[in-house]
Amino acid sequence: MITKHEFGTLESESRKIYNYTMKNRGGMSVTVTEFGGAIVEIRVPDKFGRDTDVVGGYDSLRDYVLADGYLGALVGRVANRIAGGTFTLDGETHRLFRNNGKNSLHGGKVGWSHRVWAVKPEDGEEPKLTLTLHSPDGDEGYPGNMDVTVTYELLSNNALSIRYEATTDKRTPVNLTNHTYFNLGGYASGSIRDHVLQIEADTYLPTDADLIPTGEIRSVAGTPFDFREPKTIGRDMDADNADLKTAGGYDQCFNFTGGATKAPERRIIVYEPNSGRVLTVFTDQPCVQFYSGNFLDSAEFPMKGGLPRRKQTAFCLETQAMPDSVNHPNFTNTILNPNETYTHTVIYRFSVQQ
């Protein structure tokens, strides 16, 4: 089942913005807004059958427009940071808007997280929302006209599938992701340090003082970034480690063992003991940016219900290719050619453990 309701008015365009809520028979619902294609709510039962919202977000459209953090949003053309806000492609240097110090972050000044997406709902046993957007040549400094389609599908097994497709008429970088903030105890339940996390990744990317990858691909063995066996998020978060200190917690790219796959494979499992909720992540992407919500400390934009934003009360699992790949020849290829189609699938499946 899909319902549509008004969220607010986007003053800059004098247009109404709508939210769409998908529900299945398993007790799960997902709400998506036209603005930024953001996931504003995911409700799933816990081990006692209690229905709770497990993602961070805001009550008002205004906060999604003005606040930082990209809560729930679709980000592109290129997720994550690009060093110096520049890259060179086919001998031409492209300059991007620097919205993160001297670097470009999540698409620039007005990335796809702050655009209005066209939404086509399709009801049924497994309802879906097809979101589309056109990004013109030169958009935020990126070459080529790009058309992108993102399909949210609520599956009957209490999973949310997100599939991305994009085409271009000029060679251009593309690296899309979703920036939802999860707390499996419920978005208002406090710290995520006791969540138990497992990531099938044998290497990660160290970063510099600006959280830009240095170019090194480092083994997780013997480091706080080794999540190959389940451990709580907080166990090693305060370790004497330069990368953790720079980020104020986890904000690193983890490289899945074996790299990208042809079809989505299970790569991540998260368990929250109090609620019994389990989040299992399947993807075909080579990496995930695991972010432990280290900068969620602004008092200006409280979350839903007036909840103050507090750091490390939510985490992001942003499946993608390696960040800043356009400036590192040894990283994953993020260049899309004309007559090719970029594809990316991630599935977030919820279950309970008694």
Whole-Å CA distances, 6 to 16, 18, 21, 33, 60: 7, 4, 11, 9, 11
pLDDT tens-digit readout, 169-196: 999 999 999 999 999 999 999 999 999 9
- How far apart CA 154 and CA 347 sit, in angstroms, is 10
- How far apart CA 43 and CA 214 sit, in angstroms, is 38
Cis peptide before 266 (omega within 30 of 0): no
Rounded to the nearest angstrom, the gap between the alpha carbon of residue 229 and the centroid of all alpha carbons in its chain is: 23
Q: Mean pLDDT of all residues in the chain? A: 97
pLDDT at 354 over 90: no
Per the listing, tokens 């020849």 go with 329
pLDDT tens-digit readout, 225-252: 999 999 999 999 999 999 999 999 999 9
- State residue 274 phi and psi, 5-degree precision: -65, -45
3-state DSSP call for residue 139?
helix
- How far apart CA 98 and CA 141 sit, in angstroms, is 11
pLDDT band at 299 (very low <50, low <70, confident <90, very high): confident
Residues 6 or more apart whose Cβ sits within 8 Å of residue 330: 215, 217
Per the listing, tokens 């620097």 go with 98
Rounded to the nearest angstrom, the gap between the alpha carbon of residue 1 and the centroid of all alpha carbons in its chain is: 25
Which secondary-structure segment (H or E) carries 64? helix 61-66
Cβ atoms of 208 and 245 within 8 Å: the answer is no
pLDDT at 333 over 80: yes
Provide the pLDDT for residue 68: 87
- How far apart CA 90 and CA 67 sit, in angstroms, is 36
Cβ atoms of 296 and 69 within 8 Å: the answer is yes
Q: Given this structure, which CATH class describes domain 2-352?
A: mainly beta
pTM of the predicted protein model: 0.97
pLDDT tens-digit readout, 252-288: 999 999 999 999 999 999 999 999 999 999 999 999 9
- How far apart CA 197 and CA 178 sit, in angstroms, is 19
**DSSP conformation class of 246:** H
Per the listing, tokens 């707390």 go with 183
pLDDT band at 166 (very low <50, low <70, confident <90, very high): very high
- How far apart CA 237 and CA 245 sit, in angstroms, is 9
Which secondary-structure segment (H or E) carries 146? strand 146-155
Per the listing, tokens 């805001």 go with 58
Token duo for residue 338: 């004309």
Token duo for residue 295: 């900068």
Name the residue ranges covered by the structural domains of the chain. Answer: 2-352
pLDDT at 164 over 80: yes
**Catalytically annotated residues:** 179, 318
Per the listing, tokens 């998020």 go with 233
3-state DSSP call for residue 350?
strand
pLDDT at 298 over 80: no
pLDDT tens-digit readout, 34-77: 999 999 999 999 999 999 999 999 999 999 999 988 999 999 99
